[in-house]
Structure 1
Amino acid sequence: MSRQSIPLKIIRKRFNDKIYCTGLIFLTVALIAFLIPELFPIDDEDEMIWFFLNHAITVGYFLTLWFSGRLRRGREGLHPFFLFLLMFLISAYALNRFIPIFEVSAPWFAVTIILCSVNYFAFAFIRIAPVPVRMVMFFLLGLSICCFLYMAIYILPFTGIGMLASFFFGISLHTLVPLLFFLYTIRLFRRSNARRKPYKLAFWSGIGITVLIVLVYTMLWGINVVQINRDYSRLSVRRGRDPYLPAWLQVAAHITPNPVTEKVLKAELVYTTFNGWDRLFFNFGSSLNWNEARKHDPLVMIASTVCGTTAMTGEERIHILKSLYDSRYEAEERLWSGDDLQTTHVQTSAHIWPRLRMAYTEKTVSVKNNSIVRRRGQWRNSQEAIYIFHLPEGAVVSSLSLWINDKEEKGILTTKAKADSAYKTIVGTERRDPSVVHWQEGNTVTVRVFPVMDNEERQFKLGITAPLSLEHGALIYRNIYFDGPSAGSTGEDVDISFETPPADLERSGIFSKGKDGQLTASGPYSADWQVSFKDEGLDHQIFSASNKTFTVAPYRKELAAADISDVYLDINSAWSKQEYNTVLALIRQKRIWVYVNEMMEQVTDQNKSDLFEQAAGRRFSLFPFFEVSQPVNAIVITKGVANSPSVDDLENTRFMDTLKGWLSGGQDVMLYNLGGELSPYMRTLKECRTFRYDQGDIAALKELLDAHRFPASIENDQRIVIESAGMTITETPGTEVSTAPDHLQRLFAYNHIMHAMGPRLLTGGEESDSLVAEAAASYVVTPLSSLVVLEKYEDYERFNIKDGNNSLKNASLKGKGAVPEPHEWALIVIGILLIVYLKFRPVSFKRVADI
């Protein structure tokens, strides 16, 4: 017999085996029955039916093997028996939907189980596989034995119960599946040319490498846990005094973010851990506010069992995750779950005024609830959609719409307290249709939509008035991105129009140019795209309303005298040693200070290196402005780190209480940013107009210091500065013909309110009626005001939410032009009456003549 005919003979033999072919058919049907509830919306009753179908198929094939005698020794029943085991495994995972012994598997483990299952099927044809393929198959067999041994040990506490309760249709026998796979994998290895040395080597390599990975991961886990616990314990009792900052924050400053550290912090919040027998049986939920699906990761389970978890509380770990891993969305306070929500589509429409350095953007977002009604007559699954939009500096939300019964309902601007009260009351008890958008620190806003019903889609629209970014002679429009329900398969359509043709237009590759210079794009959602063009300067344009006129002008720094005697260096991991030494050489004639270990240390030739090593070892810094002894004669030099704590994370700490006391004293200090994005902490303080600010490189800093000058704060009640756009907006009394859009007033109002509130944004205090009225007149979302959409007119009356008549209302792409002034309205009305008079006057005279 030729060697070429052997593979065909083996294949023909397998497929002539009726029992084996029956097993293949049963396995295919079982797999389809398992996937249907995953791919199609069905209720719990129907899903239970699909499980029993899986179970019946498994039992049926086992009985077929039993009565056919293929389970007896010497009857070549091993490979058909593995088909039965694969059916049994599928049935076990179907049962796990109702009795969740395992949480959802980590992606890597799910893929591993699938590979191992395919490998068991392939072993029936191993004799026709090339030697390298056989090596891989034996390697996977070694990996499989480790995986199922782990699962057998994990499920061991349930195995005894499963044996005792097996009389109930054998359902509880599913607990034996991992053990059966473990035992019969050993038998499969012995029966499959195991005596040949290469295959033994591959098999034991699979086991060895798996064990090595587990050991290395466990070691890394242990190092992280020991380091975190040591720092946490040391900082909790340091010097026996009340520290400015809590221990978790000091720990966060010294953590090196990596995947293992992240899972250490998420242990028990997200990842299942072994923490006593009660945890093993009932570890299926958490009372902490963390919006991420729970997972089962064998590496985390083993490592946490061997090395334990951190001593920090869940709330403290959430603070660190928010600070270091940009996870603020997951920690957002929720009234209802949003686990099954998915962002399905984003429509971005923008209009840009190049000669005003501003844009208006509308984001229309569709969100779907992928869950379904599980039982007939059951309460429908209502979920709450939450989005955090990241706005450019100085930008403001100026419109909100929610679609109710397929009709767009526009938001009404009211105080933040009223909007919050209405939303929480309706969402918490009445389960009807509200939406609200609130201002948040750090140039962000939060949009909430409720309810998103099971298997239904909701749509809302957010309008943002924003300045463009002026960088090196170019104006840049960046996409306004969001954190929210999964956007992995979200589609996006973009269209951008220009008031005047832009010069030297550069755009991301996703765009194509349409008629009238309009840019369009269609495809998967992308958070990171931009459009840039040459800055051709500002036009002298005017918007006029309510006897006020708003104009734009270029921002030119006005330098004021600066007698600097003390320089404070805000050192963190963003600084290089070279930058540090260069700055020291530049300011060597002044007193230089660095903040380390909650103490302000003066820099000397003897300690400068040690101070830098200590300070630069921190991932981020929170400069204590209250430690500046003479603010008028002091300058703080900083570099920012994007992922670091925000002011909100510091609430109820001694540091924040002391800082608020310092801010309430109206202190003024100079801050120079050496480059990069400001940290969230510094960005919030900048929003509060806490300091005189400038940024640039070391050479520009040298010029300022040599000239004993520093930019003065030129903002007042009539003029605001939008530094990122290089422009000012001025308000003057009077009325003129409007040539600019109403967004000019909206930008002025928002930034003027931020300037007027200043440190009161943090320290609190009475709300100014005039600022509330300014926000209402300009229809902008601020720390004092929010936009809300309610389902019924009666709801607005119940919460005393009224829409003012003398306001700009919701912004709109269709209303890009100026709003007529009262006298202009009068002229328009007179003109219309004159046209009517001239049209009908001859008819009137004719009727008189006939009489």
Structure 2
Amino acid sequence: MELRRKLTDPRYLFYLVTLILSLILLFIGQTFMPGNTENSLIFAFAHFIPAVGALVGLIWVKKDERKDYSVIVWLLFFVSCYALNRYANVFNATTPWFAVYLVITSASLLMFRYTDHLPQWARTITGMLAGLALIAYIYLSLFLFPLYPMSVIALIALGLSIHTFVPLILCLVVGWNLSRRRLWKSGLSGMGLGLAAIIIFSMLYNLQLSKLTHIYNRQQVRGNGRLPAWIEAARQLKGGFVMERVLKTGIVYREATGSLSDILGEFSFRGIGNFNWENETEHDPLVVIASMFFPGRPALPAERIKILEAMYDKRHQGEERLWSGNSLHTSYVSTQVKIWPELHLAYTEKALTVTNSERWGMQEAIYTFQLPEGGVVTSLSLWIDGKEEKGILTAKGLADTAYRTIVGRERRDPSLVRWQEGNRVSVRVFPVNGGETRMFRIGVTAPLSVENGRLQYDNITFQGPPLRFTTEDASIELAGKSEGFTPPAGFRRSGAGWEREGRYRKDWHLQMNNTPIRPNTFSFNGNSYSIRPYKLQRKPVRTDVIYLDVNAAWSRSEFDETLKLTGKRRVMVSLNDQLTDVRDDNKDDLFYALHCQRFSLFPVQDIIDPEHALVVTKNLPFSPSLRDLEDSRFRKELDTWLADSSLPKIRLMNLGAAGLPPYLKTLKESRVFRYEQGGLLQLAVLLSTNTFAEDAETADRVVIDQAQAVVERTLADSTAAQNAVRAPDHLMRIFAYNHIVSRKGKGLITSSGTEEALVNVAKEAYVVSPVSSLIVLETQNDYDRFGIKDEGNSLKNASLKSKGAVPEPHEWALIVIVLLSLTWFIYQRKWKPANA
């Protein structure tokens, strides 16, 4: 009867439901609402008021039951603490594992009311979970200890400061219940488990920190100095829960400074440089405690950022920032896609709204877009005073100078999009003022890829200010035949296209049948650009030496099978940045040593006879980029080697199903390789037939491998152009970008080559490239003083309403003559005098 009364007590159930609803509301706020805004303060009061009401309501609860009710009351205040933290950031963001830990252990306190009716095993579990909860409350109490004096004073004027004492009160509540319910033994067991976990983590933390430091220092002393020491550390480290926290301490995770004040809660966060990791610092108690007992974080500050970028592909977070972007979030994304299946081309426009949740101050928004191979940015616009202003294309250096001058000194409106390694582009928008939003639009022209015999479009992905609170509307328009079309999940038919609205989704794609390319032509400025199908062609080759680029991505069976396929040819690998022959007596040792490396940086400059060499590679997606190797001896040797224009392209066979890592991707874009991709079976065919893909590109011909298409430039023939199917201007833009990359070739790496002619090609087609950028400035005077001019006959910014062939100058003259003749013929009678 007693148990039934407790289970059906309507007042207690009301308190319990209030706690559950408060927790759900906290989860919704964490997911959908940015912090440090007026709304987040209202959100905090939405939790605080029910907690205060529950506390006052204890007056009407029977005295012998108040202790059971008080558990819920103080848990309500505990939830309110984290709601208030959204506005007054005391704890920083709670790391996910600790949030789950708090929910589970705190929920166990609700079982105190029923312990007299539980079996012994359930009582033991309840006591152990309560002991684990007590460990967390003690930690948080110490963390907040420095605020106690100020909070006591503020308690008289502002009731909100009661939150400072909630963890301490919960310590008393748990301790009293463990004693009263005779659960102190199991409670101590739970505390022992928690302390053991803390000690074990701290020891592992110290071991991993020592390992990192040892590898780095050893490479500094004993290495050959060819590569930076952090490279060796990055490829030897295994990652994992503990190592990830070692690397991110002081960057992502809050840390202790190592002084006595830390024990009393004066923890401090010290970021490194302007590194910005998802715009949010996380509070992980394990990291704070471990860094307090093993204060080794100051070692390798800049190097650890590079290690993180290489191991976790977080280069966006390492972008140079002229202004902070810590309180920004992306609030809205509009995606519009137009696809030409018969051209294997697509154009995507993304309009993004970025919001500053601070009340005042200005910040800089930085986005990084990952483009498909062969894709190019072809439009940019920024809203200034409510009006959309289009970008102007100019030389990369000129655009950088203008942006830095205005943002760094004058603090007025610019936006800039610039090309980066790995076919990424960064977009910068400034300023985003406190409490306001800014909107910009970017357009990307890209080829479709052929995957397993079907055409595929992949959404253009990006990184930037947090996307947890982002809504999106997306639309897809198909121009031409699209048999076998498979829309992305969530898209619905709307007129001639497909649409979707809702929460932002990053990864989606669509497929359709591989529509044969229909010859199309676009004419402009005396040239015609035509697209037609392309099929890889191979030609006979001689292979004397095979280089295996082995790392953690290779399996032992792949390594052994590849060795069999090489036959009697010489086989070499790169170990410790030195080429070594593979023999029967050393292949096991070589594979073990190389397989322990997360990534490899194969020294192509060491290849003995490039014309008769084949490099076989397989890699994980992440590796350092060439930019990371600046000023290293490895990079200088590579630049010297690439500067020799007489060297033939190296044959590269990729055994991986995915693409290449940043290092090899940049070399491929720079036309260092003749490239093929496939498995061991394809490698066997190539070696047995002594053939490989030919180099089909010329100054007037670019190959889009993934689209199985070739785009050619010829002198315009007015008769042929009239008879040809007219393509959109995106055809010329795709050609121009790939032409620039192809012509600049190895100069992409060595920063050499004739820039001016390539800049003119980029200006004509209006494409962002290694030599050109798009920029929006506030006034015409800004453009004039930096010498940025939108001159010459060019395609201007691309749009969804892309035009077909543009009339040539002589065609414009004919059109004007015809129009004038028609006007004279129609109105000639009206113009005659009345007496005529």
CA change 1:312–1:723 in 2 (3 A) is farther
In the alignment, structure 1 residue 428 sits paired with structure 2 residue 408: yes
C-alpha displacement at 1:748, in angstroms? 1.0
C-alpha displacement at 1:768, in angstroms? 2.3
Q: How does 1:76-155 map to 2 (within 5 A)?
A: 102-113=91-102, 123=112, 137-154=126-143
Gap runs ≥5 in structure 2: none
C-alpha displacement at 1:127, in angstroms? 6.4
Q: Report the residue type matching 1:290 in the other structure.
A: F
CA change 1:77–1:470 in 2 (3 A) is closer
C-alpha displacement at 1:600, in angstroms? 0.9
Task: Tell me the residue number matched to 2:241.
Answer: 259
In the alignment, structure 1 residue 329 sits paired with structure 2 residue 316: yes
* Equivalent of residue 257 in structure 2, options 255, 262, 275: 275
Which structure has the greater CA radius of gyration?
A: 1
CA change 1:430–1:129 in 2 (3 A) is farther
CA distance in 2, matches of 1:344, 1:493: 12
CA change 1:180–1:818 in 2 (3 A) is same
Q: Report the residue type matching 1:579 in the other structure.
A: E
CA change 1:766–1:149 in 2 (3 A) is same
Task: Tell me the residue number matched to 1:619.
Answer: 598
Q: Report the residue type matching 1:412 in the other structure.
A: I
CA change 1:523–1:216 in 2 (3 A) is same
CA distance in 2, matches of 1:417, 1:221: 44
Q: Report the residue type matching 1:583 in the other structure.
A: T
* Equivalent of residue 397 in structure 1, options 374, 377, 387: 377
Task: Tell me the residue number matched to 1:460.
Answer: 440
Task: Tell me the residue number matched to 1:228.
Answer: 212
Name whichever of 581-590 and 163-172 sits farther off: 163-172
Q: Secondary structure at the match of 2:814?
A: helix
C-alpha displacement at 1:25, in angstroms? 12
CA change 1:643–1:836 in 2 (3 A) is same
C-alpha displacement at 1:3, in angstroms? 4.6
CA distance in 2, matches of 1:471, 1:116: 48
Does structure 2 conserve the Cα–Cα contact (< 8 Å) formed by 1:116 and 1:140?
yes
Does structure 2 conserve the Cα–Cα contact (< 8 Å) formed by 1:545 and 1:735?
no
Does structure 1 conserve the Cα–Cα contact (< 8 Å) formed by 2:547 and 2:571?
yes
Task: Tell me the residue number matched to 2:825.
Answer: 838
CA distance in 2, matches of 1:387, 1:77: 54
Task: Tell me the residue number matched to 1:377.
Answer: none
Q: How does 1:713-732 map to 2 (within 5 A)?
A: 713-732=695-714
CA change 1:357–1:8 in 2 (3 A) is closer
* Equivalent of residue 211 in structure 1, options 195, 206, 213: 195
Does structure 2 conserve the Cα–Cα contact (< 8 Å) formed by 1:566 and 1:593?
yes
In the alignment, structure 1 residue 385 sits paired with structure 2 residue 373: no
Alignment RMSD (CA, Å): 4.1
Task: Tell me the residue number matched to 2:270.
Answer: 285
CA distance in 1, matches of 2:576, 2:519: 52
Does structure 1 conserve the Cα–Cα contact (< 8 Å) formed by 2:702 and 2:710?
yes
C-alpha displacement at 1:482, in angstroms? 0.9
CA change 1:673–1:133 in 2 (3 A) is same
C-alpha displacement at 1:325, in angstroms? 1.3
Does structure 2 conserve the Cα–Cα contact (< 8 Å) formed by 1:10 and 1:125?
no
CA change 1:50–1:263 in 2 (3 A) is closer
CA distance in 2, matches of 1:454, 1:189: 49
Gap runs ≥5 in structure 1: 374-379
Task: Tell me the residue number matched to 1:828.
Answer: 815
CA distance in 1, matches of 2:21, 2:518: 70
CA distance in 2, matches of 1:58, 1:167: 19
Q: Report the residue type matching 1:550 in the other structure.
A: Y
* Equivalent of residue 307 in structure 2, options 320, 327, 351: 320
Q: Report the residue type matching 2:637 in the other structure.
A: T
In the alignment, structure 1 residue 437 sits paired with structure 2 residue 422: no
C-alpha displacement at 1:350, in angstroms? 1.7
CA change 1:606–1:513 in 2 (3 A) is same
Q: Report the residue type matching 1:109 in the other structure.
A: F
CA distance in 2, matches of 1:92, 1:359: 49
Task: Tell me the residue number matched to 1:358.
Answer: 345
In the alignment, structure 1 residue 368 sits paired with structure 2 residue 350: no
C-alpha displacement at 1:294, in angstroms? 1.7
Does structure 2 conserve the Cα–Cα contact (< 8 Å) formed by 1:26 and 1:61?
no
CA distance in 2, matches of 1:432, 1:285: 30
Task: Tell me the residue number matched to 2:835.
Answer: 850
Q: Secondary structure at the match of 2:302?
A: helix
Q: Secondary structure at the match of 2:486?
A: strand
Q: Report the residue type matching 2:376 in the other structure.
A: V
CA change 1:820–1:191 in 2 (3 A) is same
CA change 1:76–1:779 in 2 (3 A) is closer
CA change 1:785–1:295 in 2 (3 A) is same
CA distance in 1, matches of 2:7, 2:491: 54
Q: Report the residue type matching 1:480 in the other structure.
A: I
CA distance in 2, matches of 1:46, 1:296: 19
Name whichever of 274-283 and 487-496 sits farther off: 274-283
Q: Secondary structure at the match of 1:504?
A: coil
C-alpha displacement at 1:223, in angstroms? 4.0
* Equivalent of residue 650 in structure 1, options 610, 629, 636: 629
Q: Secondary structure at the match of 1:451?
A: strand
CA change 1:503–1:6 in 2 (3 A) is closer
Q: Secondary structure at the match of 1:533?
A: strand
In the alignment, structure 1 residue 813 sits paired with structure 2 residue 800: yes
CA distance in 2, matches of 1:98, 1:480: 33
Q: Secondary structure at the match of 2:318?
A: coil
CA change 1:128–1:39 in 2 (3 A) is farther
* Equivalent of residue 281 in structure 2, options 285, 294, 309: 294
Q: Deviations over 1:776-833 (max 9, x none)?
A: 0110001111011112122111211110231010111112422222232223222322
Q: Secondary structure at the match of 2:286?
A: helix
Task: Tell me the residue number matched to 2:788.
Answer: 801
Q: Report the residue type matching 1:255 in the other structure.
A: L
* Equivalent of residue 326 in structure 2, options 321, 329, 339: 339
Task: Tell me how many residue pairs correspond in the alignment.
Answer: 819
CA change 1:608–1:733 in 2 (3 A) is same
Task: Tell me the residue number matched to 1:521.
Answer: 500
C-alpha displacement at 1:439, in angstroms? 0.4
C-alpha displacement at 1:358, in angstroms? 1.1
C-alpha displacement at 1:700, in angstroms? 2.8
CA change 1:436–1:242 in 2 (3 A) is same
Name whichever of 345-354 and 566-575 sits farther off: 345-354
CA change 1:42–1:590 in 2 (3 A) is closer
Q: Report the residue type matching 1:686 in the other structure.
A: K
C-alpha displacement at 1:515, in angstroms? 3.3
Q: Deviations over 1:268-312 (max 9, x none)?
A: 112222332288446233242221322221121223334554674
CA distance in 1, matches of 2:84, 2:243: 33
* Equivalent of residue 773 in structure 2, options 786, 800, 803: 786
CA distance in 2, matches of 1:803, 1:412: 6
Name whichever of 176-185 and 269-278 sits farther off: 176-185
C-alpha displacement at 1:568, in angstroms? 0.8
CA distance in 2, matches of 1:166, 1:40: 29
Q: Report the residue type matching 2:276 in the other structure.
A: N
C-alpha displacement at 1:541, in angstroms? 1.6
Task: Tell me the residue number matched to 1:539.
Answer: 518
Q: Report the residue type matching 1:285 in the other structure.
A: R
In the alignment, structure 1 residue 748 sits paired with structure 2 residue 768: no
* Equivalent of residue 562 in structure 1, options 541, 560, 571: 541
Does structure 2 conserve the Cα–Cα contact (< 8 Å) formed by 1:27 and 1:83?
no
Does structure 1 conserve the Cα–Cα contact (< 8 Å) formed by 2:40 and 2:87?
no
Does structure 2 conserve the Cα–Cα contact (< 8 Å) formed by 1:79 and 1:124?
yes
CA distance in 1, matches of 2:510, 2:84: 52
C-alpha displacement at 1:92, in angstroms? 7.2
CA distance in 2, matches of 1:444, 1:539: 30
Q: Report the residue type matching 1:675 in the other structure.
A: G
